[in-house]
């Protein structure tokens, strides 16, 4: 009887945590990220584009002619939530054939290894992104690089490099890569078209443009500041009807969900330009702050 009870408990645990392939790698689980990882009810953004991420970390699902595409995988502990969100919409996660990564940080790429284990999907990234994703280690020129790899994540296998401007056709969906480095050396924005009700809109999954770093890093001392300026320019000039980005806060998801009764608040053809403009304002603040303190030169 006791054995039956234990077996039932274990079965319940497995159901609550999702398939075993999605169990987070303990070494990389983020203990300070509970707010980001709060559950979020999935929803249709427009046409074949759905939000399946958590409350603080985006994951975007696109339905193709014969399968599914996924953009970003959150934290290691987000993978099971993403899987559950996809299932609750009536889709089969096993049909994900491609996972696209915005940038190789633990909070967007941390769940990708587990989602790839589950689905066998090919992962796509920029040339620089492939290096980081394949190793799980941030390169020294990443603003958030830390010597002991505190910001690392589980290495991902089978990552395919996409060149700037490449258009990939995945099961009938054309996805264009737009290199937007600065937040990371390999940061990439992805854009595709979603159609419904006779209207087609360009969706832009614009990568993070925040000037956030580990202690001791200076954006003004290397290429990152200029990269951010160029990347913001590129995003502001993209054909863009719907802005999505790796943190839902960046595209005002919660505010927009409250306005969903008054049309589709996600359709806004100036959202990308505003996003870029706000990021440039943050960068300017950051550069001003950096000028207030001298650069620490390591003489060891």
Q: In sequence order, what are the residues at sequence separation of 6 or more whose Cβ sits closer than 8 angstroms to the Cβ of residue 122?
A: 97, 98, 99, 158, 160
Answer yes or no whether residue 189 interacts with Zn ion by CB under 5 A. no
46 in catalytic set? no
Q: Considering the rule CB under 5 A, would residue 117 count as an interface residue with Zn ion?
A: no
Residue nearest to Zn ion (CB): 105
Out of 108, 145, 201, 241, pick the active-site residue.
108
Number of neighbours of residue 265 by Cβ within 10 angstroms: 16
Using rule CB under 5 A, residue 105 touches Zn ion: yes
Tell me if 233 sits within 8 A of 273, measured CB to CB: no
207: annotated active-site residue: no
Shortest separation between residue 125's beta carbon and Zn ion, angstroms:
14
CB of 147 to Zn ion, least distance (A): 18
Q: Give least dist CB 105 to Zn ion, A.
A: 4
Instruction: Select which of 51, 72, 103, 179 is catalytic.
Output: 103
Nearer to Zn ion, 93 or 136 (CB): 136
Q: Are strands 60-63 and 122-125 parallel, antiparallel or unpaired?
A: unpaired
Residue 51 three-state SS: strand
Nearer to Zn ion, 108 or 117 (CB): 108
Q: How many residues does the chain have?
A: 300
The sign of the CA dihedral 66, 71, 76, 79 is negative
User: Alpha helices of the chain — where are they, by DSSP H?
Assistant: 2-17, 79-88, 106-109, 112-119, 127-135, 224-237, 253-258, 271-292
Answer yes or no: 142 catalytic: no
Minimum CB–partner distance for residue 79 and Zn ion (Å): 18
Q: Does 112 bind Zn ion (CB under 5 A)?
A: no
Q: Any catalytic annotation for residue 108?
A: yes
Q: From the CB of 103, what's the least distance to Zn ion, in Å?
A: 5
Contact 58, 38 (CB under 8 A): no
Instruction: Indicate which residue of 46, 51, 72, 105 is catalytic.
Output: 105
CA nearest 125: which of 86, 68, 80, 175?
Answer: 175
| Residues annotated catalytic, as ranges | 103, 105, 107-108, 183, 217, 247
Q: Which residues make up the interface to Zn ion (CB under 5 A)? A: 105
């Amino acid at each position: 009887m006791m054995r039956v009870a234990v077996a039932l408990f274990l079965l319940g645990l497995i159901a609550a945590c999702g398939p075993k392939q999605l169990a987070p790698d303990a070494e990389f689980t983020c203990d300070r990220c509970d707010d980001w990882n709060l559950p979020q009810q999935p929803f249709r953004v427009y046409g074949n584009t759905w939000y399946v991420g958590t409350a603080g970390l985006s994951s975007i699902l696109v339905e193709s002619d014969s399968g599914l595409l996924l953009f970003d995988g959150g934290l290691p502990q987000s993978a099971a939530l993403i899987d559950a969100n996809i299932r609750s919409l009536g889709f089969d996660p096993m049909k994900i054939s491609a996972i696209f990564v915005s940038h190789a940080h633990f909070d967007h790429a941390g769940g990708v290894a587990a989602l790839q284990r589950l689905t066998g999907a090919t992962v796509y990234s920029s040339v620089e992104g492939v290096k980081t994703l394949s190793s799980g280690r941030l390169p020294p020129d990443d603003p958030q690089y830390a010597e002991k790899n505190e910001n690392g994540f589980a290495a991902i296998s089978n990552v395919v490099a996409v060149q700037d401007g490449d258009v990939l056709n995945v099961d009938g969906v054309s996805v264009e890569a737009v290199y937007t480095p600065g937040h990371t050396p390999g940061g990439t924005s992805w854009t595709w078209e979603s159609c419904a009700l006779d209207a087609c809109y360009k969706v832009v999954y614009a990568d993070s443009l925040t000037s956030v770093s580990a202690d001791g890093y200076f954006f003004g001392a290397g290429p990152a500041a200029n990269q951010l300026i160029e990347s913001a320019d590129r995003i502001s000039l993209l054909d863009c009807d719907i802005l999505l980005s790796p943190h839902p806060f960046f595209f005002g998801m919660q505010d927009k969900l409250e306005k969903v009764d008054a049309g589709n608040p996600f359709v806004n053809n100036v959202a990308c330009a505003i996003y870029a403009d706000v990021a440039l304002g943050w960068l300017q603040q950051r550069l001003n702050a950096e000028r207030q303190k001298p650069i620490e030169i390591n003489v060891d």
